[in-house]
Each structure stands twice: as structure tokens, then as C-alpha cells.
């Protein structure tokens, strides 16, 4: 369901929750309201109008962020790994591979590979790096919180940094986290582990997150800022 409030389109998601929640989501400022199943549409619209000034400020903030130019994955471009900038050096090779040397990432790529193919390969670079880092940080946060997932996996996601299947106790991590500072990955791990004891993003949920990471809001802002 979608409503229009002034110039702002708003996606409405009705759920089995007690209170309404308003989100302006990165990277482009998509506006979402989560509302209890029985709340009338008029009440949702009133809720949106009462928060319109805040919504506009958030959208403006996202729109003001610089947009990264589309990468071609050729020599001389800049890519980010764990929050640090690396220059790319593309080397012709029959067998795809990569190597990190100082502030450079050497990409061994087939000569006639397309931009789309190279983009997919770079995702696999990030996946490999994420798996190595998460293999250390997941046990760390499981020990700190006393919460344990049955398994964790990685995948490319466009709209979420992580997800948690609370029934299977399975956590998914977005491969793009490898572009961000490691503390952002730690926040996502803590966030998803917390879902094992609290499904909703309510006061109990964020109270538990704050217990282990008091500056989680600042870290979340860093996570959602574009590289």
C-alpha cells in the first residue's frame, strides 16, 4: 500500500505490531511506515503529516550525499575495502583472482570480460573478505551477548545490510559490508543476533543493542553513508 503526503510518496506496511514506526531509508530516502493491522488509513496519514518536516529533512540529507560514479573495474579506479580506499590495477589473466598489495588491489581478469562480469567478480572479492572477517567477529559477538546463531551466510542484497531468520536462527550478511569499516559489520552482527531474542525494532531491542554498543546510532550513520 502507498499513500501520498504532500510531495512525498510513502510505503505503508501493516504488521502485527503495537505502535506505528516511520523510517526514511538509505540510500535515496525511501519513506516507510510500519503500522498495526487495525490502524485506520486516516490515522496513518495523520501520523505521516505530523512528521512531514522531519521526513523532508532526512530526504534532503540523503539527496545531498555524493553519489559514487558507476565503476568500470579498470585500472586507476578507487574501490573501498573495510573503509579504506584502494587503487585498482587490472592484470590480464585467464584465471580470475585478486591480491591486496599495500594500497592497491590487483585484479586478475580475462581480457574480454564485460563490465557486468567484472562487477560480479568484485562481489565475490567482497564475499571472500567478508567471510574471513565475519568468521572472527561472529564468535566474538556470540560470546559477548550469549546469543548464538545456528549458521550465518553471505549474499548480495540491495536494501538490507543483514537479515535474521529467527526460526532457523540463520543470519545473512550483505557482501557489501566488506566496503565499510569493520565496526559497521560488528553493528550488523549485533543487530541480527539481537533479533534472536526480540523480533521487532522496539525499545527492548535497541536497549539490548545499546547495552553492548552504546554508540550504535553513530555507527549506524556511518554504515548508511555512501562510500
Three cell numbers, residue 127: 564475499
Three cell numbers, residue 135: 568468521
pLDDT of residue 91: 95
Residue 110: name the closest of 80, 133, 90 by CA: 90
pLDDT of residue 227: 46
- Sign of torsion over alpha carbons 102, 87, 221, 36: negative
pLDDT digits (tens, 9 = 90+) for 123-136: 999 999 999 999 99
Confidence of residue 69 (pLDDT cuts 50, 70, 90): low
- Establish how many alpha carbons lie within 13 A of residue 161's alpha carbon, considering only the half-sphere containing its beta carbon: 22
CB 129 within 8 A of CB 79: no
- The CA distances from residue 62 to 40, 153, 199, in Å, are 30, 29, 27
Residue 160: name the closest of 28, 43, 53, 25 by CA: 25
- Bridge partners of 203, per DSSP, are none
CB 177 within 8 A of CB 191: no
Fill in the DSSP letter of residue 150. S
Total-model pTM: 0.72
- The CA distances from residue 199 to 40, 163, 165, 169, 215, in Å, are 24, 11, 10, 12, 21
Confidence of residue 223 (pLDDT cuts 50, 70, 90): confident
pLDDT digits (tens, 9 = 90+) for 131-163: 999 999 999 999 999 999 999 999 998 878 999
Confidence of residue 65 (pLDDT cuts 50, 70, 90): low
pLDDT digits (tens, 9 = 90+) for 76-109: 999 999 999 999 999 999 999 999 999 999 999 9
CA–CA gap between residue 158 and residue 56 (Å, rounded)? 23
What integer is the mean pLDDT of 193-209?
93
Residue 35: name the closest of 56, 14, 11, 18 by CA: 14
pLDDT of residue 27: 65
pLDDT of residue 29: 81
Burial class (CB in 10 A: 0-12, 13-18, 19+), 215: exposed
pLDDT digits (tens, 9 = 90+) for 180-200: 999 999 999 999 999 999 998
Amino acid at each position: 500500500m502507498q499513500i501520498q503526503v504532500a510531495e512525498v510518496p510513502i510505503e505503508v506496511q501493516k504488521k502485527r505490531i503495537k505502535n506505528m514506526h516511520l523510517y526514511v531509508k538509505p540510500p535515496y530516502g525511501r519513506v516507510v511506515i510500519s503500522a498495526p493491522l487495525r490502524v485506520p488509513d486516516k490515522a496513518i496519514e495523520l501520523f505521516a503529516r505530523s512528521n512531514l518536516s522531519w521526513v523532508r529533512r532526512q530526504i534532503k540529507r540523503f539527496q545531498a550525499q555524493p553519489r559514487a560514479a558507476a565503476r568500470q573495474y579498470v585500472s586507476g579506479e578507487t574501490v573501498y575495502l573495510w573503509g579504506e580506499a584502494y587503487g585498482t590495477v587490472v592484470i590480464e589473466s585467464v584465471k580470475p583472482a585478486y591480491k591486496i598489495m599495500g594500497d592497491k588491489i590487483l585484479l586478475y581478469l580475462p581480457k574480454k570480460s564485460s563490465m557486468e562480469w567484472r562487477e560480479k567478480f568484485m562481489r565475490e572479492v567482497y564475499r571472500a573478505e567478508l567471510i574471513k572477517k565475519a568468521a572472527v567477529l561472529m564468535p566474538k559477538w556470540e560470546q559477548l551477548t550469549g546469543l548464538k546463531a545456528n549458521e550465518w551466510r553471505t549474499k548480495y542484497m540491495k536494501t538490507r545490510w543483514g537479515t535474521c531468520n529467527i526460526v532457523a536462527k540463520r543470519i545473512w550478511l550483505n557482501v557489501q559490508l566488506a566496503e565499510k569499516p569493520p565496526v559497521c559489520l560488528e553493528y550488523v552482527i549485533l543487530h541480527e543476533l539481537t533479533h534472536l531474542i526480540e523480533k521487532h525494532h522496539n525499545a527492548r531491542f535497541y536497549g539490548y543493542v545499546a547495552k553492548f554498543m552504546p554508540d550504535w546510532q553513530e555507527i549506524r550513520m556511518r554504515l548508511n553513508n555512501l562510500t
